[in-house]
């Protein structure tokens, strides 16, 4: 066997994990900045200047939770990709707002979409949940044991937001997105990852009560300790630094320049954080994919919602860099080669 044949054979036998389909869902109700002006002491100019957000979607039905959003996004993916849910091996449910502490939301979603041959579980890393889920899904594919892994990112953030707290209610929205990971033998798909966490962030972005440390009680409810709170300045500082650092490092580690990167898919938390990350990578604005103005921060759903909105731009072989930062703190970057052209 010649050197070319050996190289070709090795490539054909190496499994990489590629995204082969995407889907999404957002609720119909639009919570605009103008509406927020009637709810808290804020205004459209202040919100837009500091966050880049104009609107966010809210799931108004109190009888529906994160699972409803996730099911809709998964069904969208299955329909668009003409995929039989019985062929799915595993469902990873990335979420910070599960329907209930127990049982797993992902397990319920799997059953409801007809993926009865799959096993499922939830993954929680705040706003980095989907990014971490990409790493996890890819590892299952690369092991050779599984052929179809459905990764869903979904959050009903309105369920944990205090709409009298202008520091958080202007930021978050509800939504869901999903991607399918499958084996690839052309060298496409996930190439490298840099994932990190630091418990120093535990007190700066959190829901204080409802867990084992402070179980729900009349006292915790009266003190409003079941909604998300954050130290905005501290979170912003860490987010800007770490998202930018991780994205820069993934380029250097893979000998990539800004010219090599086709698209940046950043977590949609704040336009200033996104701009800082793009600046560190020396990327022109046209390569930065953003929909934060429409949806706000949907936590686990931001990355797949971006992929869904801009799927038509992504071409087979494109170099795509993902970046995220979340409470905990959690953060990282993933380098991926896009695997298909939208039909």
What residues are labeled active site?
A: 127, 267, 297
d(CA 119, CA 285): 40
Which is nearest to 301 in space by CA: 27, 18, 19?
Answer: 27
CA torsion through residues 213, 219, 221, 225, sign: negative
**Which residue in this structure is represented by tokens 């650092």?**
245
DSSP characters over 238-258:
HHHHHHHHHHHHHHHHTT--T
Q: String of b and e for 58-80 (b: at least 16 CB within 10 Å)?
A: bbeeeebbbbbbbbbbbbbbbeb
3 state DSSP class of 75: helix
d(CA 120, CA 239): 30
* DSSP 8-state class, residue 227: S
Q: Report long-range pairs for 142-145 (Cβ below 8 Å, ≥24 apart).
A: 142/15, 142/16, 142/17, 144/15, 144/183
**Helix spans in the chain (H):** 3-13, 33-37, 44-51, 66-81, 105-112, 129-142, 166-169, 218-222, 232-253, 271-280, 292-295, 302-309
Say if strands 149-156 and 189-197 run parallel, antiparallel, or are unpaired. unpaired
Chain length of the chain: 343
d(CA 18, CA 145): 15
């Amino acid at each position: 066997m010649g050197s070319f044949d050996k190289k070709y054979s090795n490539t054909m036998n190496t499994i990489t994990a590629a995204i082969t389909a995407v889907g999404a869902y957002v609720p119909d109700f639009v919570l605009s900045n103008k509406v927020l002006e009637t709810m808290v002491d804020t205004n459209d100019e202040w919100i837009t200047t500091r966050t880049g957000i104009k609107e966010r979607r809210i799931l108004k039905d109190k009888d529906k939770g994160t699972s409803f959003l996730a099911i809709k996004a998964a069904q969208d993916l299955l329909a668009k990709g003409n995929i039989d849910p019985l062929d799915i091996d595993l469902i990873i449910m990335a979420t910070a707002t599960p329907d209930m502490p127990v049982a797993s939301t992902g397990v319920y979603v799997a059953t409801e979409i007809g993926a009865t041959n799959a096993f499922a579980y939830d993954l929680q890393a705040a706003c980095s949940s989907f990014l971490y889920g990409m790493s996890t899904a890819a590892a299952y594919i690369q092991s050779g044991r599984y052929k179809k892994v459905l990764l869903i990112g979904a959050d009903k953030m309105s369920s944990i937001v205090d709409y009298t707290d202008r520091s958080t209610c202007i930021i978050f929205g509800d939504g869901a997105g999903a991607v399918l990971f499958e084996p690839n033998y052309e060298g496409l798909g996930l190439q490298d990852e840099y994932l990190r966490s630091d418990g120093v962030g535990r007190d700066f972005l959190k829901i204080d009560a409802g867990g084992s440390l402070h179980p729900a009680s009349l006292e915790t409810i009266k003190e409003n300790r079941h909604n998300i709170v954050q130290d905005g300045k501290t979170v912003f500082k860490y987010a800007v630094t770490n998202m930018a650092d991780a994205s820069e490092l993934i380029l250097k580690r893979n000998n990539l320049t800004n010219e090599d990167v086709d698209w940046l898919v950043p977590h949609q938390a704040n336009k200033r954080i996104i701009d800082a990350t793009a600046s560190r990578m020396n990327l022109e604005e046209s390569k930065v994919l953003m929909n934060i103005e429409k949806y706000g921060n949907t936590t686990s759903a931001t990355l797949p919602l971006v992929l869904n909105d801009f799927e038509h731009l992504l071409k087979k072989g494109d170099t795509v860099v993902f970046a995220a930062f979340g409470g905990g703190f959690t953060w990282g970057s993933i380098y991926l080669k896009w695997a298909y052209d939208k039909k």
